């Protein structure tokens, strides 16, 4: 639903929000933060600041449904708000927008207490926004699946199930972390083809994966699938997700049950939940399936989803090496991609995931799978960009990379845009590789 909360003319009395690349008043993403010296609590990102939802409650700025929603969003996790569903999120969004609107009747009164309501985002700690029950990683980036598959199976890059099944695997919830930290290079079993037996040591082929993250709101009961036409009701919001991947460990461990330690070393996310409501204007039609592709099976086939199930969100992957950092250089844009490159919509993911009766819970997280395009410079990971490490990438300062080196910082940017609307973004999904522990 596109409504007045998206109006391009709105500005905030929080002046850093106006023209902010990620968090103008049209976004209002939800998260959990600790201000300097304070405890963890719910907040809304607005420009360079964070609105403290509990402080706004204490100031009496909420009533009715918005008050209930604000209470659910004021604690150490957003799970209660996620569970409360879309009406609660929308009531909160509408009222927070009024509170922060430069033109609202309350503006001068609220500005007078802004010292109580607002915290500086840069000096706050930003936490995971929710307690993640289960983390499911899809494989919906068809160009990634094709390119990655062609490296190991040139004759048969896409598996026969790919265009029928929104392929996914259960991944590790405990090691999901918010943007900004370090990821330690893992040790693991590696068996290059030239070795007769594996050994144990530091991953040599550490990679990132650019993914779109999906936050589940209302859950479903075990044994009660969510029909595709009702899927959007269960999708609360979105983030960017870096599925750090240890390619050499993955190649050796994955048969026959899929990736395990190659993925559980850590997964980073942008920590603000950009709500489904905020992204409503940026939904677009599914591109028609290429000629010859099968139609989705009936339980994955929905006209409304085809009409607006995709998102027009531009992503960038940036790399900053230690040498670039020492020289004061800016991060280098390694690749650019777009969420519309995904073969399956988020509604199809929800319908598929629950089609066997599996229960989703508020705070479950999905990854989309790596989002890549079809042309050079649109690859969502180094495995694709370097064709399995064979073609190193050249950086502007003369360095090259096949896979990540210690000290390398990878960051993602994501921006949703549409003519006539103010662009919104996802904030930061950034992490730096640190050296492996001694292997034994």
Residues in contact with its own copies by CB under 8 A are: 133-134, 139, 149, 159, 161, 164-165, 167-175, 177, 184, 186-189, 191, 197-200, 203, 222-223, 225, 246, 249, 252-266, 294, 297-299, 352-353, 355-361, 364, 437, 439-440
Beta carbon of residue 137, minimum distance to its own copies (angstroms, whole number): 8
249-262 burial by CB neighbour count: b if 16+ within 10 A, else e?
bbbbbeeeeebebb
Strands (E), 27-134: 30-34, 41-46, 49-52, 118-120, 125-126
* Residue closer to its own copies (CB basis): 149 or 407: 149
* Residue closer to its own copies (CB basis): 1 or 295: 295
Selection from 130, 131, 112, 124 nearest residue 46 by Cα: 124
Beta carbon of residue 148, minimum distance to its own copies (angstroms, whole number): 9
> Which bin fits 382, alpha (ψ -120 to 50), beta or left (φ > 0)?
alpha
Helix (H) or strand (E) holding 184: strand 182-184
Are the CB atoms for 142 and 164 separated by under 8 Å?
A: no
* Residue closer to its own copies (CB basis): 220 or 335: 220
**Residues annotated as catalytic (active site), given as ranges:** 144
Selection from 77, 37, 43 nearest residue 57 by Cα: 43
Selection from 261, 236, 237, 234 nearest residue 247 by Cα: 261
Rg (CA), the chain: 22
Mapped onto helix, strand or coil, the DSSP state of residue 83 is helix
* Residue closer to its own copies (CB basis): 139 or 215: 139
Alpha carbon 139 to its chain's center: 14
Q: What are the φ/ψ torsions at residue 437 (nearest 5 degrees)?
A: -70, 155
Beta carbon of residue 147, minimum distance to its own copies (angstroms, whole number): 13
Angle 86-100/64-72 helices, nearest 10 degrees?
A: 100
* Residue closer to its own copies (CB basis): 39 or 161: 161
Read off the DSSP letter of residue 13: S
Beta carbon of residue 398, minimum distance to its own copies (angstroms, whole number): 32
Beta carbon of residue 200, minimum distance to its own copies (angstroms, whole number): 5
| Alpha-carbon span 428 to 412, nearest angstrom | 7
Beta carbon of residue 380, minimum distance to its own copies (angstroms, whole number): 16
* Residue closer to its own copies (CB basis): 1 or 222: 222
* Residue closer to its own copies (CB basis): 257 or 303: 257
| Alpha-carbon span 213 to 412, nearest angstrom | 12
Beta carbon of residue 372, minimum distance to its own copies (angstroms, whole number): 16
Query: How is 205-270 classified by DSSP, letter by letter?
Result: -EE--EEEEEEE-S---TT----GGGGGGGEEEEEEEE--EEHHHHHHH-TTT--SHHHHT-EEE-
Residue 415: other Cβ atoms inside 10 A: 16
For residue 366, the cross-strand partners are: 136, 214
DSSP collapsed to 3 states, 294-344:
CCCCHHHCCHHHHHHCEECEEEEEEEECHHHHHCCCCCEEEEEEEHHHECC
Beta carbon of residue 161, minimum distance to its own copies (angstroms, whole number): 6
* Residue closer to its own copies (CB basis): 26 or 220: 220
């Amino acid at each position: 639903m596109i409504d007045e909360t998206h109006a391009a003319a709105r500005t905030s009395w929080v002046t850093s929000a106006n023209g902010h690349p990620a968090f103008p008043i049209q976004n209002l993403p939800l998260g959990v933060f600790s201000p300097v010296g304070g405890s963890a609590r719910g907040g809304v990102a607005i420009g360079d600041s964070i609105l403290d939802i509990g402080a706004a409650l204490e100031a009496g700025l909420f009533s009715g449904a918005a008050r209930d929603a604000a209470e659910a969003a004021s604690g150490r996790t957003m799970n209660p708000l996620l569970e409360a569903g879309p009406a609660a999120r929308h009531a909160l969004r509408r009222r927070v927008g009024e509170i922060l609107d430069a033109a609202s009747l309350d503006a001068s009164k609220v500005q007078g207490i802004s010292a109580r309501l607002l915290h500086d985002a840069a000096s706050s700690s930003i936490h995971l926004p929710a307690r993640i029950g289960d983390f499911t990683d899809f494989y919906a980036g068809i160009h990634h699946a094709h390119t990655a598959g062609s490296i190991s199976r040139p004759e048969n890059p896409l598996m026969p199930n790919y265009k029928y099944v929104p392929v996914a695997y259960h991944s590790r919830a405990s090691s999901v972390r918010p943007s900004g930290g370090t990821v330690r290079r893992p040790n693991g079993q590696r068996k290059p083809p030239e070795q007769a037996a594996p050994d144990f040591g530091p991953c040599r082929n550490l990679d990132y994966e650019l993914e779109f993250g999906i936050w589940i709101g209302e859950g479903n009961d075990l044994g009660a699938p969510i029909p595709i036409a009702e899927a959007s009701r269960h999708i609360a919001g979105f983030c960017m997700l870096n599925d750090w991947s240890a390619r050499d460990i993955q190649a050796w461990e994955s048969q026959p049950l899929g990736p395990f330690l190659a993925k559980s070393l850590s997964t980073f996310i942008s920590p603000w939940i950009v709500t489904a409501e905020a992204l409503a204007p940026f939904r677009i039609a599914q591109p028609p399936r290429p000629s010859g592709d099968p139609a989705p099976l009936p339980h994955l086939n929905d006209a409304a989803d085809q009409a607006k199930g995709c998102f027009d969100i531009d992503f960038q992957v940036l790399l900053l090496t230690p040498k670039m950092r020492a020289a004061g250089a800016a991060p280098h844009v390694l690749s650019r991609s777009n969420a519309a490159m995904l073969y399956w919509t988020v509604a199809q993911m929800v319908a598929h995931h629950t089609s066997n009766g599996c229960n989703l819970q508020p705070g479950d997280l999905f990854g989309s799978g790596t989002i890549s395009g079809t042309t050079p410079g649109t690859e969502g990971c180094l495995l694709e960009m370097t064709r399995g490490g064979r073609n190193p990438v050249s950086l502007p300062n003369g360095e090259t990379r096949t896979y990540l080196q210690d000290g390398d910082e990878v960051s993602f940017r994501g921006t949703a845009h549409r003519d006539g609307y103010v662009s919104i973004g996802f904030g930061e999904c950034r992490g730096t590789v640190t050296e492996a522990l001694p292997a034994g």
